[in-house]
Amino acid sequence: MINMAEEITDEVEETSVETFEVNYACLRCGTIVSNTELSRLPEIKCICGFRVFTKVRPPVVKTVKAI
């Protein structure tokens, strides 16, 4: 008799979690905050008290060749 628990554990693979540093800017004051700093706080809020952030884009422009 095959134990189902043994079968499932054989299929599970260890995957490393990749963390990406994403920067956000406050819409009111323009303060740049990283996602790790925002995750430490109990609520998503800027130091000025505003709760609306925009994602800061990198200055690199990607060009994609059409097929």
Ranges of each domain in the chain: 19-57
Reference 56, options 30, 25, 16, 35; nearest CA is 25
**Full-model pTM:** 0.59
At 3 the pLDDT is 60
d(Cα 63, Cα 50) in Å, to the nearest integer?
35
Helix (H, G, I), strand (E, B) or coil at 23: strand
At 29 the pLDDT is 94
At 7 the pLDDT is 54
At 10 the pLDDT is 54
d(Cα 54, Cα 45) in Å, to the nearest integer?
12
Q: Which positions of the chain have pLDDT values less than 70?
A: 1-19
